[in-house]
Every structure is written in structure tokens, then in C-alpha cells.
């Protein structure tokens, strides 16, 4: 199948993600000078060659065949490279919007959590590895940790004949910009934030319904209970959906544990938060039924054909740190090999707290909220 049939010879990020999710084999030709983060998918072959080098020496294009998606930063400088490839008979197209467009792309994946009379969707953001959720029941929809593209959630609810009635951010995010406030303004839905988030300082507190540990509300026929999960941050709060699925935010992931050093970055503070996270995971998460479905806030960047939604029993087997009994040993294991903190994380926190205006340029690359 041809990569594109349009006269503009472009492919949108959404089209690209959908085709990669379907298992299509494709070459991603990344022509940015610095390609430290890429489009990831099982069927992708990566080739990195800066545009100026390719245009100065077109022979460097030799060997490229099959479907080739040419990507740059914003979709502006890729056109002449794609044109040169097409002149050589290669099925090449420009990724519209470039990597800036890619990091905003969203894909829906259904989740079977055994919630009678309800539909549950995981909204994946393959360019960043961020995961958000939409729970739909009896014409009402709850959106958890929405990305900035709020129209996606409005449309997803409408497809099921529902309207967005409730929005929750599980904590003040440090790695990505939240769409919660804009979505609440767009829909008139109730915006809920963890009560400890308000204690950290939120400029729009008057527009928020505080959510304390143990609080409950309903979405259609499904009862949603707040579960305090401090450790990644003091305000980290999960949501137990009908007793069957736990939206864990940034506490426990499918194959890792959240980093404890973003709110308190000094050595002693990070260790204290890690010990708190140890208590949280043992007493509040692993104490749940092993069959409860884990709905994490992040995964590794990349395209996934299905939802990332393992049972807690599976997660226990996949994450060796969960077997560490001593909280100090647990803290040491988490802190000894931490990846770099998320890019611009302090500025992202300021935006999500309402202290600074929204700036999409703050988001770059994949997330690094996990300790691995």
C-alpha cells in the first residue's frame, strides 16, 4: 500500500500511528540534526541523516526502499528530502507537523476491566508515553489526566452518546502539560484535584473540587473512590473504578516504579519520598485484590496495538523492586540509577499549577517519570 496518495504527499501523525499500530513495516527517516528521541513502534526501521547532508550528497539516500516517512522538527524541512526520494522511485511522504505533531498524537485503546454497564478507554500518547483514561457509563464520562488536545476526549465521549461530566488530574504533573482546566471550561464538567495538590499551591483552586483519600463519586453506575498514593509526589492520588481497576497515576507502572525526586529533589527529601512510596505500594496498592487491573499514568514512548493494563498479579512479577521488604533498601534501589529529570519539569509544574501561561514548547521528548 502506498504511504500516501495525496497531492501534498504528506501523512498525518495520526495516520502514521494507526498504520504502525496495525503492524505495517516502515522506515522512519529522521533528518533532524539531533535525534535523541524518535518515533517508536515494532515495525519501524530508523535511519538518521541530517537534511543538509542528504541534499548535499543524494547518494546517501541509496538503499532506502519500501514506505519511508520523512520527519523533521515541524514538518517544514522534510519536503525536499521526500521529493528527492520520490524522484528515485521511493514511496516517501512527509510526516505532517514533524515531531511536534507526533508528540501530540492520541490513540484510543479499549480496556476490559469487567465494569458492568461501562466502557473504559485508555488514551495513549505514543510520542511521550503518557496515558489518560475515559470511563463512560449511562451517558456520563470521567476523564483522568487529559492531554492538551481536549477535543479528543469530547469526541470520544460523544461517540458513545455521553458528555464529559467529571475530570481528575491525579497530581500536579511535572512531565507533561495538563488539559484538565481547558477541558473543564470546554465542557462545564466538575474538575477534581487531590486535596494535597491544593496544599502545594494551585492558582485556580476556586474552580476545583478537592478530592481527599477515601472520597467517592459516581460516573453513571460506577463508583469511583480516591486512593491516596503519596511517594512520587505528596499529592499523588489514584482512582479505584468500581473496585475492579486502579488508575495509579505516577506511582506504579506496568514494568516499573515512579521516581520520587521531582517534588523534593534534594538527597534526603528524595529518600524520604522513596520510603513513603514503599509504604504506599505495599499498604495501598499491593493490598488490593491481585486481579485488580492496573491503569498506569505512563508507559515507554511508542505505538502500542493494545492497552497497557495488566493485573496487579502480573505487575508484581514484572517489577522486582516490589519484593524489597526494607524501605531503605527500596529507596536505594530506586535512587541509584535514576534517569535525568523530565525536560523543563519545573516550568511544566508552574503551568499546571496556574502560575504561568500554557506553553506547548515546554513539552519535548518522551516522559521520564519512571525510575528505569
- pLDDT for 279 equals 98
**pLDDT at 136 exceeding the cut of 90:** yes
Q: How many folded domains does the chain comprise? A: 2
**Domain CATH for 345:** 3.60.15.10
Same domain, 90 and 124: no
Q: What is the pLDDT of residue 366?
A: 75
Does some domain include residue 290? yes
Residue ending a domain, among 71, 102, 133, is 102
> 339 and 255, same structural domain?
yes
Domain of 156 in residue numbering reads as 107-362
What mean pLDDT do residues 178-195 have?
A: 98
Domain co-membership, 51 together with 162: no
Q: Are residues 229 and 317 in the same domain?
A: yes
> Is the domain of 63 the same as that of 162?
no
37 belongs to a structural domain = yes
Q: Are 257 and 333 in contact (CB under 8 A)?
A: no
Kindly tell me the number of DSSP H helices and DSSP E strands found in the chain.
11, 17
Q: What is the pLDDT of residue 65?
A: 86
pLDDT in tens, 204-224: 999 999 999 999 999 999 999
> Are 178 and 322 found together in one domain?
yes
What CA–CA distance (Å, rounded) separates 233 from 237? Answer: 9
User: What average pLDDT does the structure give for the chain?
Assistant: 94
> Which of 102, 123, 153 finishes a domain?
102
CATH number of 84's domain? 3.40.250.10
Q: How far is the C-alpha of 243 from the C-alpha of 241, rounded, in Å?
A: 5
C-alpha closest to that of 215 among 225, 229, 228: 225
pLDDT in tens, 20-69: 999 999 999 999 998 888 999 998 999 999 999 988 888 888 888 899 99
pLDDT band of residue 7 (cuts 50, 70, 90) is: very low
Same domain, 46 and 184: no
Per the CB < 8 A criterion, the answer to whether 214 and 135 are in contact is: no
Do 91 and 176 lie in one domain? The reply is: no
pLDDT tens for 93-112 read 999 999 999 999 999 999 99
Compute the distance between CA of residue 96 and CA of residue 70 in angstroms, rounded to an integer: 9
Could you read off the pLDDT of 65-90 as tens digits, one per residue?
Answer: 899 999 999 999 999 999 999 998 99
Contacts for 355 with CB less than 8 Å, ≥ 6 apart: 201, 203
Tell me: pLDDT of 195 over 50.
yes
Instruction: Look at residue 359 in the predicted model and tell me its pLDDT.
Output: 93
Judge if 345 and 302 occupy the same domain: yes
Same domain, 73 and 126: no
Amino acid 61: pLDDT: 84
Interval 145-165: pLDDT, tens: 999 999 999 999 999 999 999
Instruction: Check if the beta carbon of residue 295 is closer than 8 Å to that of residue 251.
Output: no
222 within a domain of the structure (yes/no): yes
Q: What is the pTM of this model?
A: 0.95
Residues 307, 172 within the same domain: yes
Confidence of residue 264 (pLDDT cuts 50, 70, 90): confident
Q: Coil, strand, or helix at residue 68?
A: strand
Does residue 4 form part of some domain?
no
- CA-CA distance, 299 to 51, in Å (whole number)? 31
Q: Are 193 and 141 in a shared domain? A: yes
Nearest-angstrom CA–CA distance, 343 and 287: 34
Amino acid at each position: 500500500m502506498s504511504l500516501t496518495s495525496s497531492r501534498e504527499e504528506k501523512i498525518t501523525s495520526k495516520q502514521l500511528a494507526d498504520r504502525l499500530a496495525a503492524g505495517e513495516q516502515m522506515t522512519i527517516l529522521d533528518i533532524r540534526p539531533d535525534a535523541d528521541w524518535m518515533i517508536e513502534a515494532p515495525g519501524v526501521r530508523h535511519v538518521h541523516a541530517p537534511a543538509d547532508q542528504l541534499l548535499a550528497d543524494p547518494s546517501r539516500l541509496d538503499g532506502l526502499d519500501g514506505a519511508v516517512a520523512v520527519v523533521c522538527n515541524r514538518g517544514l524541512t522534510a519536503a525536499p528530502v521526500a521529493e528527492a526520494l520520490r524522484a528515485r522511485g521511493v514511496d516517501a511522504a512527509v510526516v505532517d507537523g514533524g515531531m511536534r505533531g507526533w508528540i501530540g498524537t492520541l490513540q484510543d485503546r479499549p480496556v476490559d476491566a469487567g465494569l458492568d454497564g461501562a466502557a473504559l478507554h485508555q488514551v495513549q500518547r505514543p510520542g511521550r508515553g503518557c496515558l489518560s483514561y475515559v470511563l463512560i457509563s449511562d451517558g456520563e464520562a470521567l476523564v483522568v489526566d487529559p492531554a492538551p488536545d481536549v477535543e479528543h476526549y469530547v469526541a470520544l465521549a460523544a461517540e458513545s452518546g455521553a458528555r464529559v461530566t467529571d475530570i481528575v488530574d491525579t497530581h500536579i504533573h511535572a512531565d507533561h502539560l495538563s488539559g484538565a482546566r481547558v477541558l473543564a471550561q470546554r465542557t462545564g464538567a466538575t474538575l477534581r484535584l487531590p486535596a494535597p495538590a491544593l496544599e502545594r499551591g494551585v492558582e485556580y483552586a476556586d474552580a476545583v473540587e478537592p478530592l481527599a483519600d477515601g472520597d467517592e463519586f459516581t460516573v453513571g453506575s460506577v463508583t469511583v473512590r480516591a486512593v491516596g498514593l503519596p511517594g512520587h509526589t505528596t499529592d499523588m492520588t489514584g482512582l479505584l473504578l468500581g473496585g475492579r481497576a486502579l488508575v495509579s497515576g505516577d506511582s506504579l507502572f506496568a514494568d516499573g516504579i515512579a521516581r520520587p525526586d521531582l517534588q523534593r529533589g534534594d538527597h534526603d527529601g528524595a529518600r524520604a519520598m522513596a520510603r513513603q512510596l514503599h509504604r504506599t505500594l505495599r499498604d495501598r496498592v499491593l493490598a488490593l485484590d491481585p486481579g485488580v487491573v492496573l491503569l498506569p499514568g505512563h508507559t515507554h514512548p511508542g505505538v502500542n496495538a493494545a492497552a497497557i493494563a495488566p493485573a496487579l498479579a502480573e505487575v508484581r512479577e514484572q517489577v522486582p523492586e516490589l519484593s524489597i521488604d526494607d524501605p531503605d533498601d527500596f529507596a536505594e534501589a530506586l535512587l541509584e540509577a535514576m534517569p535525568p529529570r523530565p525536560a523543563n519539569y519545573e516550568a511544566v509544574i508552574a503551568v499546571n499549577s496556574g502560575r504561568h501561561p500554557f506553553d506547548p514548547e515546554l513539552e519535548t521528548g518522551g516522559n521520564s517519570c519512571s525510575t528505569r
